Amino acid sequence: MKTTLVFGGSGQLGQCLKKVTNERGIEFLKFPAEEEANVLNVEALEKLFETYKPEYVINCAAYTAVDKAESDVETSRKVNKDGAANLAQLCKQFSAVLVHVSTDFVFEGNTPFLLTESDVAAPINVYGLTKLEGEQHIIQSLDKHYILRTSWLYSEYGNNFVKTMLKLGAERDELNIIADQIGTPTYAIDLAACILDIIEADNQQYGIYHYSNEGVTSWYDFAVGIFDLAGISVKVNPIRTSQYPTPATRPVFSVMDKSKVKLTFGINIPYWRHSLQECINRLQQ
């Protein structure tokens, strides 16, 4: 029994972890209540570690409001850097392995090449910067860690692009969607399964790993795919990023190379449209 504490359990990925653990009949994941599991409350965290004595810790807790982070740097840094640092310190103290979820936004994303784990991280927004600072603190203070960078996360839970598009598609006849930002959507159920596979493998090949679904697409093509698979008729117009300015700058190309996670853990990664169909089927049920 690899007793595992999950932080950020009420968020999108946390809820997907609950679903996958239920489907697999896994009982070693513990989801403490939010008031007990505040990653900024060191005293409360220590009590949880003392109570459960976890072998593994999964950190899904993050400040993910990318545009809001530009004007709320302090909160973003507290959650994404200090929160990660607190968990890393306690994992070291209690000899636990930390599985930390990070982002493709740690990259500048200005060249059309698959991004590997060894490529230089150079964030171009506050969210990416604070997530990178969290990564760096974990690497410096804790040997036993897996950092999983992911991208364009969606699921049946929480707020995400797929659910937003389905809502807007039901309300409008026409939408303008950015076509010059390229990446890969990730079904959070697939990411949750990957995290559990890593824990169950217990192979101690610690470090940074990339995980998203397979394939490459733009936000425009992603939206078209959503409407196509959901059977919704709506006109989608491709627009440039410059036509839809946001407070935070996004990477133009942030497609990650997943070779390392596939080879190390023997993981099969689904193609993004196949996973999208599965999510839409569940949402429509």
d(CA 73, CA 76): 5
Q: Quick check: is 209 catalytic?
A: no
List 56, 127, 154, 211, catalytic entry: 127
What is the count of structural domains for the chain? 1
Please state, in angstroms and as integers, the Cα–Cα distance from residue 160 to each residue in 6, 65, 218, 221, following that order. 21, 11, 16, 16
pLDDT of 74 reads 97
**Residue pLDDT tens, the chain, 285 long:** 689 999 999 999 999 999 999 999 988 899 998 888 999 999 999 999 999 999 999 999 999 999 999 999 999 999 999 999 999 999 999 999 999 999 999 999 999 999 999 999 999 999 999 999 999 999 999 999 999 999 999 999 999 999 999 999 999 999 999 999 999 999 999 999 999 999 999 899 999 999 999 999 999 999 999 999 999 999 999 999 999 999 999 999 999 999 999 999 999 999 999 999 999 999 998
CATH of the domain at 252: 3.40.50.720
- The per-residue b/e assignment along 143-171, b for 16 or more CB within 10 angstroms, e otherwise, is eebbbbbbbbbbbbbbebbbbebbeebee
pLDDT of 28 reads 87
Boundaries of domain holding 224: 4-284
- Token pair for 29: 């994941």
pLDDT of 1 reads 65
Segment 110-153, tens digit of pLDDT: 999 999 999 999 999 999 999 999 999 999 999 999 999 999 99
